[in-house]
Amino acid sequence: MTSAIGDGPAPLDLSGITVRFGSFTANDAVDFSVGRGEIHALLGENGAGKTTLMRVVAGLIIPQEGTIRIDGRPVRLASPLDAAAEGIGMVHQHFMLISTLTVAQNVCVGIAKAGRVFPDLAKVARDLEEIGARYGLQVDPHALVGSLSVASRQRVEIVKALYRGARILVLDEPTAVLAPQEVDGLFRVLRMLAEAGTAIVFISHKLGEVMALSHRVSVLRHGRLVATKPTADTNPAELARLMIGEDLVLPTVDGAHTPGQVAIETRGVSLRDELGVTRLSDVSLAARSGEIVGVAGVDGNGQQQLAEILAGLQAPAAGAVIMASPSGPVDVSRSGPGRRIALGLAHIPEDRHHTALVDMSIADNAVLDSIDRPPLARRGFLAHRAIRAFATRLIAANDVRCTGPEQGVMTLSGGNQQKVVLGRALAHDPRVIVAVQPTRGLDLGATAFVHRQLLAEREKGAAIVLVSTELDEVLALSDRIVVMFAGRIVGAMSRAEVTLERLGAMMTGQAA
């Protein structure tokens, strides 16, 4: 992308930023700036220091060393209010919105005027409509946020930042939950904002997007800035090498592979939530031994509910779930996770922090789903020596970077936490694997590790249902792909039949 970058002092200029947590240095004398009308991409593996640096910009962390300048002025950002007052707006990967409030009310939260619960909502609504029309960010100010699509909620976050006077916009992994057409729409908005003079920091793991969108790119590794260069002067291979310090080749599925018999299937499954809203409608899906079935779709279209039904965390309102066993097909529709684990199912949940891990040691987490298996338990008592040995083997086999089995799992990086979850799931040679967003938030190195492990299980004969909003991941790993929209499977195709245009049309409910 090319554009004229504004002259004069940079809207945001970080110089020599150093942040330490005890003996650990998260940012080591980092220099970073973004010009007026510039889109500056920030790359780095998990733990490279990107989040810490942006928390400094947001006023959430005060660095021990270094200078922050806004338009050439040294400033001290001691709180998010300080950052907002300087024209800094953050769009987080996990939206900071309240579902039960309207768009206009969400925009006003935190900026109430003295003597009022909210500012004049009618005027706020008019202002939001004007901002939306100016930048192609149309949202209904009176709509409840809970009724909006993921893409619309993201537009609300951007409009909220602009309403509050943001001249410097920081976006953290903004495309993680968007379909291809929605990504194109977001990029149009960001280019329009840049042309209007907004300084934009774009954080992403997706190298193709960085190449397509940004003017400059900076790479952090181990807390240090290792490169800043014009995007036109680099390429994805070089950026990947800068991020991880070596060449990286992501594995892909072998197309010349013949799957076996059906290992798990749903037959006409439907589901309503506690409010009576239909979440799944007549969903039939089968996965065969030695096959990866990718489930694609924009977040919130029933993929999570389908995965929970497959794993036994929810029972369908109608339809059936069938698993293969040595003695023949077994209806597990009303069976919980324990029965399915006994039949060889492993589940890699979407949210490792809330549904996969507990705030205990690595060893404790390594045996959460197998605590009653010998030799981990004998006569109802835990065999602590066996548990420690099991966890030690899991750590070694999955390259978990830690001090040992006794280390608290919540002190690990996201990538190492996911390695614990993955290692636990694969430790007992599962016949069926339900993997939900297995690489969400992971860097390139950790993503490649997860992909290699899943492909190895496929080669061993496991049937894998891969639920992911990362289209590159679905395309690289899947033998077959199904697309979900509004709680239904709206398309199914082999890997050879897939095009991004067709996939994107299905994901957004358009005719394929």
Residue 94 has pLDDT above 80, yes or no: no
pLDDT for residue 314 = 93
pLDDT band of residue 509 (cuts 50, 70, 90) is confident
Residue 114 has pLDDT above 60, yes or no: no
pLDDT digits (tens, 9 = 90+) for 252-288: 777 667 889 999 999 999 999 877 888 999 999 999 9
- Give residues with Cβ within 8 angstroms of 178, minimum separation 6: 150, 151, 154, 186, 298
> What is the pTM (predicted TM-score) of this model?
0.67
pLDDT for residue 147 = 86
Q: Looking at the structure, do residues 132 and 55 belong to the same domain, yes or no? A: yes
What's the token pair of residue 331?
């209806």
Query: Mean pLDDT throughout 286-297?
Result: 96
| β-bridge partners, 345 | 432
∠ at Cα 466 (302, 339), nearest 5°?
A: 80
| β-bridge partners, 69 | 13, 74
pLDDT digits (tens, 9 = 90+) for 434-447: 999 998 877 778 88
Q: Which domain, by its residues, includes 173?
A: 12-244
Q: Looking at the structure, do residues 472 and 390 belong to the same domain, yes or no? A: no
327, 405, 321: which is closest to 362 by C-alpha?
A: 405
Residue 43 has pLDDT above 80, yes or no: yes
Residue that wins the pLDDT comparison between 3 and 312? 312
- Give residues with Cβ within 8 angstroms of 456, minimum separation 6: none
pLDDT for residue 117 = 55
Q: Looking at the structure, do residues 101 and 194 belong to the same domain, yes or no? A: yes
Residue that wins the pLDDT comparison between 366 and 300? 366
What's the token pair of residue 130?
């004007």
* Lowest-pLDDT range of 26-40, 110-124, 286-300, 464-478: 110-124
CA distance 158 to 189: 10
Query: Mean pLDDT throughout 217-227?
Result: 94
pLDDT digits (tens, 9 = 90+) for 161-180: 999 999 999 998 888 767 77
pLDDT for residue 299 = 77
Q: Looking at the structure, do residues 265 and 322 belong to the same domain, yes or no? A: yes
Q: 487's torsion region: left (phi>0), alpha (psi -120 to 50) or beta?
A: left
As a whole number, the mean pLDDT across the chain is 89
Residue 2 has pLDDT above 50, yes or no: no
What's the token pair of residue 390?
């099991």
**CATH code, 94:** 3.40.50.300
Q: Looking at the structure, do residues 175 and 106 belong to the same domain, yes or no? A: yes
Query: Mean pLDDT throughout 220-243?
Result: 92
Q: Looking at the structure, do residues 172 and 32 belong to the same domain, yes or no? A: yes
Pairing of strands 480-485, 463-467: unpaired
CA distance 476 to 399: 23
Q: Looking at the structure, do residues 234 and 295 belong to the same domain, yes or no? A: no
- Within-domain flag for 383: yes
Q: Looking at the structure, do residues 401 and 327 belong to the same domain, yes or no? A: no
pLDDT > 70 in the chain, percent? 95
Q: Specify the number of domains making up the chain.
A: 3
Q: Looking at the structure, do residues 34 and 162 belong to the same domain, yes or no? A: yes
| β-bridge partners, 280 | 271
411, 356, 446: which is closest to 46 by C-alpha?
A: 446
- Give residues with Cβ within 8 angstroms of 443, minimum separation 6: 44, 45, 46, 47, 48, 205, 243, 244, 415
Q: Are 307 and 350 in contact (CB under 8 A)?
A: yes
- Give residues with Cβ within 8 angstroms of 472, minimum separation 6: 206
pLDDT for residue 137 = 84
Give the residue from 374, 403, 427 where a domain finishes.
427
Query: Mean pLDDT throughout 133-140?
Result: 87
∠ at Cα 416 (414, 420), nearest 5°?
A: 115
pLDDT digits (tens, 9 = 90+) for 475-493: 899 999 999 998 999 999 9
CA distance 35 to 197: 9
- In whole angstroms, what separates CA 314 from the centre of its chain? 23
pLDDT digits (tens, 9 = 90+) for 310-352: 999 999 999 999 999 999 999 999 999 999 999 999 999 988 8
Q: Looking at the structure, do residues 422 and 433 belong to the same domain, yes or no? A: no
What's the token pair of residue 450?
């997860």
Q: Looking at residue 5, what DSSP letter applies?
A: P
Residue 115 has pLDDT above 60, yes or no: no
CA distance 181 to 191: 15
∠ at Cα 242 (239, 245), nearest 5°?
A: 135
Give the residue from 399, 427, 455 where a domain finishes.
427
pLDDT band of residue 3 (cuts 50, 70, 90) is very low
- Within-domain flag for 328: yes
Q: Looking at the structure, do residues 25 and 170 belong to the same domain, yes or no? A: yes
Phi, psi of 24, deg, nearest 5 = -95, 130
pLDDT for residue 112 = 54
- Within-domain flag for 183: yes
Give the residue from 196, 216, 244 where a domain finishes.
244
